[in-house]
Amino acid sequence: MAAAQSSVTVYGNLDVGVLTQNHAPAGTASTTMANGGISPSIWGFRGTEDLGDGLKANFNLEGHFAPDTGALVSGANLGGTGTLFRRQANVGLSSASLGAVTVGNQYSPAILAFAATDPRGLRENFSGLYSWAYNSGIFNKVAGTSQLATTPNTNNDVGVFLQNAISYSNTIGPVGVAAGYSLSERTRGAVYSLGVTYSGPVSLSAAYQSNDKPNTSDRLSSIYTVGAGYTMGAFTAKLNYLRGVNKDTTTLVETSRVDVFGLGVDWKMAANNTVIAAAYFGKDKDNSADNTKTLVLSDEYALSKRTTLYGQLAYARADAGASMLTTVVASGNAANTNTTLLNFGIKHAF
């Protein structure tokens, strides 16, 4: 048996810029400091210990903060001012041949699979990240109204992070499979998550996630996606379909059935310059006036391996009943209007 070796890495991102739009959700024009244009601002520690015979012990601690104020960022459905390691606090064992088991607060296996074919790779704004979060981890629409209620399932942090979770993942050749389960602990609510990917010139992904109501086995929401991508030279095309179904938290009557289609093309103009053009079409089949169409054009220019300048232009057309459920804009859109948004900023990784 080889002698045990261990390593610890400190890592993070700072991403901050300016966002201007002619119609903010309140209906007026606004210009604000924007945290996370293309990436979240995070800091963390990850480590591994070689236990020999191909077995490793791993841990990950990861926090989320707002660089404009330095404050910790909390999940929209969790309340409070933020937890120190809101994004990840987990430990596990991994083997190159047998896969990995991870226990604790961690990324949802489903969101990691979804990222593979989202047209904008789940950029921190103007991407399928918000189609996912708003339909799988934050809101449940109240029956008979247009009101969005905060989901009572507190194991599910915006659909992206699972608390009190255990997961298994493995990669066999080009195929990756991962499954996760958040223990209900009676008052928090169970979460089930599954993701499958295929990597190559043609990439494929499928994902499913569902949330239960606390103290019951009643399903509050479920979401699934399928997608594909194709790379040819400097271009990568992606297509993805998402469906999210949510229920009233009291009556369990279905209140939204949202479909989002996303398509886009990445163009690697140079080794340090990538242009992405994408379109998203969101529609709630249970609420005919809740429709949003969004076009996005962005350019990311790397000054170095660690520092990137970016600019993003988005145009959103929201119908009269448009809600957060059909948008890909982080702050949402003003209903019954056309909104142009411009975001530019800088990202630095360490």
222: CATH: 2.40.160.10
Q: Is 17 within the bounds of a domain?
A: no
Task: Using a cut of 0.85, tell me whether the model's pTM lies above it.
Answer: yes
- Each residue's pLDDT, cut to its tens digit, for the chain (350 residues) gives 445 678 999 999 999 999 999 998 887 899 999 999 999 999 999 999 999 999 999 999 999 999 999 999 887 655 555 789 999 999 999 999 999 999 999 999 999 999 999 999 999 999 999 999 999 978 888 898 888 888 889 898 999 999 999 999 999 999 999 999 999 987 889 999 999 999 999 999 999 999 999 989 899 999 999 999 999 999 999 999 999 999 999 999 999 999 999 999 999 999 999 999 999 999 999 999 999 999 999 999 999 999 999 999 999 999 999 999 999 999 998 999 999 999 999 999 99
What pLDDT is recorded for position 5?
77
Structure tokens at 9: 């890495």
Inside any domain, residue 11:
no
| Domain hosting residue 325, numbered range | 30-349
Q: How far apart are CA 322 and CA 71, in angstroms?
A: 31
Q: Which residues contact 64 (CB under 8 A, 6 or more apart)?
A: 40, 41, 42, 72, 73, 82, 86, 87
Q: Return the structure tokens found at 53.
A: 């015979």
Report the C-alpha gap between 225 and 259 in whole angstroms. 10
Q: Report the distance separating Cα 58 and Cα 46, nearest Å.
A: 7
Measured CA distances, 160 to 39, 86, 227, 304 (Å): 14, 11, 18, 29
In angstroms, what CA-CA distances link 274 with 47, 195, 308?
Answer: 31, 27, 11
127 near 197, Cβ under 8 Å? no
Residue with tokens 């083997």: 95
Query: What per-residue confidence (pLDDT) applies to 139?
Result: 85
Rounded to 10 degrees, the C-alpha dihedral 243/221/137/196 comes to -50
Beta bridge partners of 181: 166, 192
- Please give the pLDDT value at position 234: 98
Residues whose CB falls within 8 Å of the CB of residue 160, separated by 6 or more in sequence, listed in order: 107, 108, 111, 129, 132, 133, 137
pLDDT at 78: 54
102 domain-assigned: yes
Beta carbons of 303 and 294 less than 8 angstroms apart:
no
Considering only CA atoms, which of 279, 282, 272 is closest in space to residue 324?
Answer: 282
Give residue 1's pLDDT.
42
Please check whether residue 261 lies inside any domain of the structure. Answer: yes
Is 12 inside a domain boundary? no
Cα(138)–Cα(145) distance, rounded to whole angstroms?
A: 17
Q: Cβ neighbours of residue 171 under 8 Å, at least 6 residues apart?
A: 99, 177
For residues 333 and 336, give the distance between their C-alpha atoms in angstroms, rounded to a whole number. 9
Cβ atoms of 280 and 238 closer than 8 Å: no
Residue 3 domain-assigned (yes or no)? no
The total number of structural domains in the chain stands at 1
User: Are the CB atoms for 138 and 158 separated by under 8 Å?
Assistant: yes
Q: Is residue 194 part of a domain?
A: yes
Residue 37 lies in a domain: yes
